[in-house]
Structure 1
Amino acid sequence: MALRSRCWELLSVCRNSGCGAAAFSTSSKPEVKPAVDPPENEAVAPEFTNRNPRNLELLALARKERGWGTVWPSREFWHRLRVTRTQHHIEAVVEHRNGQVVVSASTREWAIKKHLYSTKDVMACESIGRVLAGRCLEAGISFMVHQPTPWEAASDSVFLFPCTLKGFALILDIGYLHHNNSSIYQGLFMCQTEVSILRCIS
């Protein structure tokens, strides 16, 4: 009894002084837990950052500039291949529809030039095609448009250039691609079939 009375005295002293009252008090209220899904998670960000801007192009859903029917070369493309021949060199670039050059290869590069006998013959054009095809595959570009002029298409070297690119399963003319995914795979299958036929013939 003496011990119990002494404990009550200590409890009354602590309550009067304001120290440790919470430690001796017992409460039947349940502990408040934080919300599992706070309302802040449902808020929509005012600005959206597209981390993959080429996603619509890969799905063949991106918008192409139409209404350029009277302009040549046509602007209805996502990537365009341009081959430029000068008196001493051959240069090939792949440019985006906004005019930015994405991939390029030229006989002016010493890494390519040192393996060539001439920088302007047919073999130089084929070598540039092989290098450009490898760089396009590394950059994730599989579809492009090639619109040579009639006098450029009559050249043997320019005619060999798209054949070299097709050997790496690159699709040059995307005019037959429509707004569905099956046409892309169908075009890729057609290109691979054409490549296999060319390899069998050669």
Structure 2
Amino acid sequence: MSKPLSILKIESSVRGGASVTRRLADRVVADLLRGAPDATVVTRDVSAGLPQIDEAWVGANFTDPAERSAAQKETLALSDELVEELRAADVLVIGAPVYNFAIASTLKAWIDQIARARVTFRYTENGPEGLLTGKRAIIAFASSGTGLGSDVDFASGYLRHILGFVGITDVTVVAADQMLTLGETQVEAAERQAEEAVARLLAAA
């Protein structure tokens, strides 16, 4: 008997109920649950902030696990927890609003906590190798004026790259972008189109 699907949802928007990415991410999860009603869902909301990595964190991370002090283990405790959440997930759903042409600083802090040499990636004689293989990621992308894939979109390409770097290469982006360039009715239509794209994506899976 196969194990239930495991979904990890990462939220980074500071806009609460007004957030487009939160609504899109919720739609992604809801559609996943329709296809796998016994799935487990873990939500990690990073919008309030995560600790930034610092010298102590880097020192602990590069110390052999068997030789880490109690203080170093405590320094890495949150990172270990975040890594285990990600390692356990079959599907990663990321709510990624665009702030000033890039991802939220809190989402970057999450990435810094989970991108760990010898844990989620390693360097080999053939180059870097991601260790979190066999997973799928769906990014719920929303922006006020930045077009998805445009020359000033430093969010979606970065997310694709860093996810691939740790081994997650099956990445899809569903977008409601350039929302402030649209009228009110067009904004609603753009959200509906993004939600329809989610439904088509998961129906085809």
Using structure 1 for the length normalisation, give the TM-score.
0.29
Name the one with the larger strand percent.
2
- Give the structure with higher Rg (CA): 1
Q: State the TM-score, normalized to the length of structure 2.
A: 0.29
Query: Which structure has more RCO (C-alpha within 8 Å, separation ≥ 6)?
Result: 2
